[in-house]
């Protein structure tokens, strides 16, 4: 369905070349910073010739570099993400609030939105680095084992949430990672009942995080916002008793600012 008109999508308006080009750009991430033509073709499901044309076009436009074997995205590609950030006030508002959260708790704070079967960071304030992976605005993480992600999943229709879980990989990051859909389903029911998600050592050993939904003025979930800490410093008791009231205070304030 077309999100703008709610009418069936007219395939006559579909630009296959644009679809292929965007798919090629999305191949590159933190673990795939440089790729060959063959690797891109396999990842996107294109012929080598089509992948080559897309990559060479991106290189010609300045979005990619080519050393004769590998392609990699350039800083110029960041314009695509900044275009979104500049075109909406929501990330700007969320950035202000995550900075306030970090100041009040002296812990890293983040906000994320739903994008397909993943969550993507749209605001971030890092007091100290506590994740072994590099997390910045634009970083994507799984929905199923992160507190920010579970809040977003819980906001969906249960059937939609389970469909996304079934379609996405659910790797066991630690011995505490919950990967089975029935168990995650129970976790999501708790999130809906409690209004928050607490995740302990499922993404990384020693990491605990607490997140709540971000509502707009209509009561719709538009993002999630949360705090991360080390278990030895902030156990579940402190997160619920000390951090949660702070999160809920900011949640209420955000609802008056987001349309």
Q: Cβ distance 121 to 111 under 8 Å?
A: yes
Q: What is the pLDDT of residue 134?
A: 66
Each residue of 173-208: pLDDT tens digit? 999 999 999 999 999 999 999 999 999 999 999 999
Phi-psi label, residue 139: left if phi above 0, alpha if psi -120 to 50, beta otherwise: beta
* 3-state DSSP assignment of residue 88: coil
Q: What is the pLDDT of residue 88?
A: 61
Please report, in angstroms and rounded to a whole number, the separation of the first and last CA atoms in the chain: 23
User: Which domains, ranges and CATH numbers included, belong to the chain?
Assistant: 11-79 (1.10.10.10), 88-255 (3.30.450.40)
Range list of β-strands (E), the chain? 64-66, 71-73, 109-115, 118-125, 140-142, 197-200, 207-215, 221-230
* 3-state DSSP assignment of residue 127: coil
Which run of H or of E encompasses 24? helix 16-26
Taking the C-alpha atoms of residue 104 and residue 150, their distance in angstroms, rounded to an integer, is: 24
Residue stretches of the chain with pLDDT short of 70: 1-9, 30, 78, 81-88, 127-134
Taking the C-alpha atoms of residue 14 and residue 34, their distance in angstroms, rounded to an integer, is: 29
Q: What is the pLDDT of residue 3?
A: 43
| HSE, side-chain direction, 13 A CA sphere, residue 236 | 7
Q: What is the pLDDT of residue 216?
A: 86
Q: What is the pLDDT of residue 2?
A: 42
């Amino acid at each position: 369905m077309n999100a703008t008109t709610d009418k069936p999508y007219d395939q006559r308006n579909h630009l296959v070349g644009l679809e292929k080009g965007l798919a090629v750009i999305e191949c590159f991430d933190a673990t795939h910073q440089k790729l060959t033509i063959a690797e891109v073709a396999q990842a996107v499901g294109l012929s080598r010739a089509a992948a080559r044309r897309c990559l060479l076009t991106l290189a010609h436009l300045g979005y990619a570099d080519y050393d004769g074997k590998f392609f990699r995205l350039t800083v110029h590609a960041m314009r695509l993400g900044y275009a979104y950030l500049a075109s909406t006030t929501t990330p700007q508002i969320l950035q202000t609030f995550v900075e306030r959260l970090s100041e009040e708790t002296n812990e890293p704070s983040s906000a994320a939105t739903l994008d397909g079967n993943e969550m993507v960071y749209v605001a971030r304030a890092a007091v100290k680095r506590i994740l072994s992976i590099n997390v910045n605005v634009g970083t994507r993480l799984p929905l199923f084992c992160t507190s920010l992600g579970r809040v977003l999943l819980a906001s969906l229709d249960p059937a939609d949430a389970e469909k996304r879980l079934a379609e996405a990989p659910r790797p066991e990051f630690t011995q505490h990672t919950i990967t089975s859909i029935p168990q995650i389903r129970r976790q999501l029911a708790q999130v809906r009942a409690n209004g928050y998600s607490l995740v302990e050592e499922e993404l990384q050993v020693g990491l605990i995080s607490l997140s709540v939904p971000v509502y707009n003025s209509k009561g719709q979930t538009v993002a999630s916002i949360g705090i991360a800490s080390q278990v030895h410093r902030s156990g579940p008791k402190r997160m619920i008793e000390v951090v949660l009231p702070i999160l809920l205070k900011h949640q209420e304030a955000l609802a008056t600012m987001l349309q």
